[in-house]
Amino acid sequence: MAKGKNIAFDVFGYFLLAVFAIVFVIPFVWMISSSLKADYEIFTFPPKWIPNVFHWENYANALTAFPFFLYVKNTLYVVLGNIVGTLISSTMAGYAFARLKTPLKNFWFSIVILTMFFPGAVLRIPNYVTWNFLGLVDTLWPLILPAWMGSAFNIFLLRQFFTTIPMEIEESARIEGASRFYIIVRIMVPLIVPVIITVVIFTFRNCWNDFETPLIYLNNRSLYTVSLGLNVFKSKYGVKWSNLMAASVVVALPSVLLYAFLQKYFTEGLLIGGVKG
């Protein structure tokens, strides 16, 4: 093949990469640029991309105008509760499905798969009735307790990963007299750190982002999570686009930072649990 043709392909490749990168980045630039503008700069057309002065106080205003830190605190309760709960319950179940033999195992595992794909809308109403009956509507418990009863996706992920760990490690520990509990905690768990980190990242993102569940169960504004809070902010201060953008940037930041720091483990865990299957 002619060398010139190769170079042409490469250049075209770089060109496309760059074009799409610009397309994908522009909304971010717009978001941050807007968050740093004064009102008069927001309401001009055509807009200036870089504001004259960077109005950092928009961020301060946004974070004080609505009880941001209260919402973060509530969300963190939910997130932490979910992470701990799902790590315990899903790891237990994932290990059981991967390692233990019992006649009905496949039947139960097919239930796991079923619930993974089951459209949730049907269950929202009866579950609300259940929580209502327990008197736990308008508390954070309906957002936290379900995680303690396993998450189908995490059980699946953990089970996949457990099956990639060779039996010899367990067997040699068993010969030396270790109990099953000891095996899980001290041997298996350190081996599956990448998958655990993946579970943590997914759980964090799902809880931080979750809008529908808090919307259904929380009426008292002092219990609102960040996602509901941002929506309230929009309703009250919608016209203040600069502040809304600042608030949105802040709300988006934790997930981005989490991904940035734990990226390495995340892709590794995904690959092992998912695509390679």
Partner 1 sequence: MMITTAGKPVPAKPLKARKGRMQRKETVAFYILISPWLLGILVFFVFGVGFSLVLSFMQWDLLHPMKFIGIDNFVRMFADTERYFRDPVFFKSLGVTFLWVLLSVPANLIVELFLAVLMNQKLKGIPFYRTVYYLPSVCSAISVNMLWLWIFNYDYGLGNTLLSYLGLPAIHWLTDAKYVLVSFTAMSVWGAGNGALIFLAGLKGISNELYEAADIDGANSVRKFFKITLPMLSPVILFNVVDAVSNAFQTFSTSFIMTSGGPDNMTNFISLLIYNNAFVSRNMGYASALSWVSLVIIVAFTYSIYKSAAKNIYYSVEG
CB of 53 to partner 1, least distance (A): 19
Backbone angles phi, psi at 53, to 5 degrees: -120, 140
Q: Which of 51, 63, 128, 136 binds partner 1 (CB under 8 A)?
A: 128
Contact status: 110 vs partner 1 (CB under 8 A):
no
Contact status: 208 vs partner 1 (CB under 8 A):
yes
Contact status: 245 vs partner 1 (CB under 8 A):
yes
Within positions 170 to 189, which residues make up the interface with partner 1, using CB under 8 A?
177, 180
- Beta-carbon contacts of residue 178 (< 8 Å; ≥ 6 apart): 186, 187
CB of 21 to partner 1, least distance (A): 5
d(CA 277, CA 270): 10
Which helix (H) or strand (E) covers residue 248, if one does? helix 241-270
| Beta carbons of 162 and 94 less than 8 angstroms apart | yes
CB of 222 to partner 1, least distance (A): 19
Within positions 30 to 89, which residues make up the interface with partner 1, using CB under 8 A?
30-31, 34, 42-47, 88-89
Residue carrying the six token digits 């971010």:
28
Asked if residue 166 has a cis previous peptide bond (ω within 30° of 0), the answer is no
d(CA 159, CA 136): 32
Q: Which of 113, 149, 167, 185 binds partner 1 (CB under 8 A)?
A: 149
- Of 16 and 169, CB closest to partner 1: 16
Helix (H, G, I), strand (E, B) or coil at 211: coil
d(CA 267, CA 271): 6
Q: Which of 120, 169, 185, 236 binds partner 1 (CB under 8 A)?
A: 120
Within positions 2 to 21, which residues make up the interface with partner 1, using CB under 8 A?
10, 13-14, 16-17, 20-21
Nearest by Cα to 67 from 259, 255, 247: 247
Contact status: 274 vs partner 1 (CB under 8 A):
yes
Q: Which of 127, 136, 139, 237 binds partner 1 (CB under 8 A)?
A: 127
